[in-house]
Structure 1
Amino acid sequence: MPGNEDLWPLRLVHRHWLIGGILAPLHADPGYRAAMKPEALYEVEGLLTGADGNPPITGLDVHNASVKRTAMYETFRRLFEDVDFAVLPTTQVFPFDASLTWPRSIDGVPMSSYRRWMEVTAIGTLLGCPTIALPAGLDARGLPMGIQVIARNHDDLSLLQLARSWERATGRVQQHPPSLLG
């Protein structure tokens, strides 16, 4: 895979094709369409009429995205011959005001959709590899940030063992128990 510039367009084709296709029957019904939130409309319209300045998704787009996704998978497969895990941030921003549905820009760069602000999570999704988010630290306001750990395909057990070791070493669950455990 050539580089990061391909990640977002690849994710868009994949997401619009899968999610847009699932939601298209609801979108076709005017009553349901009127009740759909803008983010759901974005997925269907990305498939049918285009989004982010792109035309509608075609069969050739899906094929080309599949070729790029396979190349990405092969690159990570080779990486996993030498390392056990890939570690990335979970998002491009720290937690934002809860009244926002999503950040509209990051450092002055407009986010074209509700998915763009967490674009880095597309990697694990596109790979189809087991991925887990782990707490990594806090910002100046005390709000959490995480890392995502991606394991080899079908190596869920090793990933869960790593996460358990991480939890034991950091004690985050005991320090900040989830409300459901509390």
Structure 2
Amino acid sequence: MAGESINRREMLAMMGGMASLLLAGRAEASPINTSETMYTVPEDIKFVAQGGAPPKSVESALLYSSPEKEGIYYALLRWYPGYMSAPHSYATDRLCVVVSGTWWINSGADFDPAHTVPVKVGTFVRRIARTWHYDGVPRGEAGPVTIAICGIGPVDIKLAEPDKPLARAV
């Protein structure tokens, strides 16, 4: 067909044939196999209080595996206004994305909530292994923050001040 032109009628016929092939393919698509593609709708995600933390301070929802187990994990963490974590570190990096609210973060072993930096929805935060950091939501904020966290377990958390609790009222 090199050098030959296709007339309008032939072009429309080809396009019509391609459209019917595409539509026919859709009609034959298989339904989702939930043993191969798993999902959890938001209303089925259950948050639970972090061990030892005051009620409505910090909660988590494990979506895949656990930070205490070997291998990759994925979780949601929710901080309520008026609470922050004490300076701590992990054995492995943690990759975080702010899902809702505003998260207040800082680095270092010196706990100073007044110098935290607000990060908004969609912000990506990488916590480098064995570096001190703290975070949460100061008192007076409109609502909690939810963060999606992925990492490799076990996290082996260490507190800069082991004699003080992980969740602190601020």
TM > 0.5: no
Which structure has the larger Rg over C-alpha atoms?
Answer: 2
Question: What TM-score bracket applies, with the shorter chain setting the length?
Answer: under 0.3
Normalized per residue, the structure richer in helix is 1
TM-score with structure 1 length normalisation? 0.23
TM-score with structure 2 length normalisation? 0.24
Normalized per residue, the structure richer in strand is 2
